[in-house]
Amino acid sequence: MCRSRLKIGDSTIDERTNSKPNMNDNNVDLVLASASPRRKDLLAGLNIRFRIIPSDVDETVLNGETPQDNVRRLALAKARDVSPRTPGLWVLGADTIVVIDNRILGKPGDAEEAKTMLAMLAGKTHEVYSGYALVNSAFPDKEIIRNVVSQVFIRDLSPSEISDYVTTGEPMDKAGAYAIQGIGSGIVQRISGSYTNVVGLPLCEVARDLQELGIFDFLKANACNDC
């Protein structure tokens, strides 16, 4: 039987005390600058050792900003916000938005806004953009900033179905007011592109960059020498 690697992705900073975790290169491979449970779960699936230190970046969309520019800017800002607190460690920042008819949809502010967003998406194809950045203050010339886009088609929804879905509470902290990995999977008819990108982190691309930077090789790390 293979021995699984230690997962410490649920080790977080206590925001009330603003205390810092005791980190060194022997304990973690990466720092995730996000409090998103979806990104945490995706990274944990690679068996990478990481800690979570949420960034404190204003996510307001700038006037005239394209979806690509928005997610890339915010992903980099989040990683750079956390990096000074984790000298010598690589930091992963990420941001995800939903775009319909050239309009950027973030997280709904309340139930009515969630209903409005879902009504806009129903019966149409929209885009999901995720940007991510890998930053290490010790290697400023090796920063990586990328974005990935996927297309998602949500089936037609009646007003009562939209209301029922919003009542579940799931849409309230999700870009575009739905979660493809949760109850919302029942309204997503098809996607084109990366599924994990829609969840919140394009894992294939991130894993490849972690390999190329020498941070973490998920294939070698998970090899079973006893098999």
Catalytic residues: 95
User: DSSP labels for 162-202?
Assistant: HHHHHHTSGGGGSGGG--TTTGGGGTEEEEES-HHHHHT--
Please state, as a whole number, how many other Cβ atoms lie within 10 Å of the Cβ of residue 118: 25
Taking alpha carbons only, the member of 53, 57, 56 closest to residue 86 is: 53
Taking alpha carbons only, the member of 107, 36, 130 closest to residue 116 is: 107
Contact 136, 89 (CB under 8 A): yes
